[in-house]
Amino acid sequence: MTIHVVGNVCVDASFRLERLPQPGETLNATAAGEGLGGKGANQAVAAARTGASVTLWAPLGRDAAGDGMESLLSSEISDLRLSRLDLPSDRSVILIDRYGENVIITAAACAEAFNPLTMCPLASTWSAGDMLLMQGNLGADVTVQCLEAARRAGLFTVLNPSPLASDAPDLSAVSLLIINRPEAEALTGETSADRAADRLRVRGATTVIVTLGSEGALVLDASSRLHIPAEKREAVDASGAGDCFAGTLAGLLAQRATLADAARLATRAAGLAVGRAGTLASFPTSAELAALTKTLKLENV
């Protein structure tokens, strides 16, 4: 099984602060850095580090930033299908406070212009039994079209709809929805993760995972409801933890791990990421994921 990750790639500029600024306020950062990011890239790399076969379909600008990101991605993912557009490469600014909480702003001209069904041979490359993994960075209509085309072609579809679009996403072609608690509440109006997951299944998603930060994750399908606890860990930087979880989970499922086992290891992987600085730089390595697999005694991995 190949995981086709369709999403964005961007330059992440991160700034560490004692606290997040108030409106109109200027603060000096205690540290700053720049690196590869974007939810599509993050999730593709996390999936590849599990040992899964991954193809990344994403747009880049025809600029030096795009050249640099392509070079960095090539060291992690062997099958890159990158479309170079006559636009500036996408960029994100991440502000992180001393408790690891963050706010993110993204300039996403490439992601918003990208349609892999018309710009790339995506639909003629995937095969029945493969997996499609998408996020919320592309246009909402494009995301739905990709999910529907993949479902018709016999793929297992995974959606992590972050950032949320202004309109509620169509979940009728979603095999697995991965969503965090604030986003689940925003879509359903439910403050309870359990009730929100129930409503998201009613709206079409076959299986729903609500990530709960330091409380772990809730997994709900047609036959079971499971709470996966998280290890207690001091948060250094929570940016990218959701991408680490989603990519790791997808990679394990593609290698025939059970949903429960995949969620357990993905929760541990995200916990490791939260305890380190950086976004993609904080993700567990392939060796660390292999060690976690042995520690947790996972089946079929």
Active site residues: 243
The vertex-280 CA angle with 88 and 36, nearest 5°, equals 20
The span from the CA of 141 to the CA of 156, in Å, is: 19
Cβ neighbours of residue 266 under 8 Å, at least 6 residues apart? Answer: 217, 244, 245, 246, 248, 249, 252
Tokens linked to 8: 């964005």
Burial 3-15 (b: 16+ CB within 10 A, else e): bbbbbbbbbbbbb
| Sequence-ordered alpha helix ranges (H) in the chain | 39-49, 64-74, 109-113, 116-119, 122-125, 140-152, 181-188, 193-202, 241-254, 259-274, 286-296
Residue with tokens 């960029």: 91
